[in-house]
Structure 1
Amino acid sequence: MKSKRLRSERGAAAVEFALVLPVLLILIIGIADFGRAFFTEISLAQAAREGARVMAVTKDAGQATAAAIAAAPGLNPALGGGNVAVPGSCAAGSQVTVTITYSYASVTGFFGPINLQSRGAMRCGG
């Protein structure tokens, strides 16, 4: 009697594993995708702060754009000049705001492209 009962339960574990595996895989891939999106958001914030800092110190929009792009080397696809909005001037005592927009493409495709935006601000002449 006992061996017959064990033999019938052996297949139950395989069926339970087959039911749980897709949910577990989606959960793990979702966690990794969220981590990648969070990394992208942090990189964009750092790039915007760096662009604002360079613009406030040098008052050169070209250098500020280059600094913002260089501050986010881990992004794939990389930032381009079209992603970074730097104001043309920076008067002493005023505030400069650098805005970066970036389209984040999900690895899984469940979330679709998400438009992320980050701003960095600093007082000019600092």
Structure 2
Amino acid sequence: MFPSWASRSRILRRDESGVALLEFAIFVSLLLVLVFGTIDFGRAMFTANNLTAAAREGARYGARHTNPGAALNAIRDTAASKMSPFGNTPVNAASQVVVTCLPSCSTGQLQAVQVQINYPFTWLTPLPALMRQPLTPVLHARATFRWEGS
């Protein structure tokens, strides 16, 4: 008839038919976390590098301008146009780019032009949420160039 409970438990202890599937599921989940984390981290580093280059180009444009105080919007637009986000929204020149003349924008006292970009970075994967990190961290880039005008 039916096997006894002891013989049934011996058969079940030796059965390993689902072990390979379970190991594969654990391995694939860890592999996907690693791959997508690497992709998002690479995107964040690419964006931070581009922000720095855009701030540098904007500050350089302002430093070579004859009157940076009168061309603040042109400096902001130049910095914003040099930023090429990878999978994110473009830089908003009006709200995310800050241009400062050091110590002031009057041409008699002007010594340097500083451009700062504050950019909210958006993750593609939900990994930061799982690690209790902010979903949209703000990346900052700042560049200061000595004013070359006369």
Q: What is the TM-score when the length of structure 1 is the normalising length?
A: 0.83
Gaps of 5+ in 1: 1-7
Question: Is 2:146 the counterpart of 1:123?
Answer: yes
Q: Which has the larger radius of gyration?
A: 2
Counterpart of 1:35, as a letter, is G
| Structure 2 CA distance for aligned equivalents of residues 107 and 90 of structure 1 | 44
- Measure how far apart 1:50 and its partner are: 0.6
| CA RMSD, Structure 1 to Structure 2 (Å) | 2.2
- The match for 1:13 is 20
Contact 1:52 1:120 in 2 (8 A): yes
Contact 1:96 1:123 in 2 (8 A): yes
Q: What is the TM-score when the length of structure 2 is the normalising length?
A: 0.71
Contact 1:64 1:86 in 2 (8 A): yes
| Structure 2 CA distance for aligned equivalents of residues 78 and 93 of structure 1 | 30
Gaps of 5+ in 2: 1-14, 129-134
* Number of corresponding residues: 120
- Measure how far apart 1:96 and its partner are: 1.5
- The match for 2:8 is none
| Structure 2 CA distance for aligned equivalents of residues 32 and 67 of structure 1 | 29
Query: Of residues 29, 32, 36 in structure 1, which corresponds to 2:43?
Result: 36
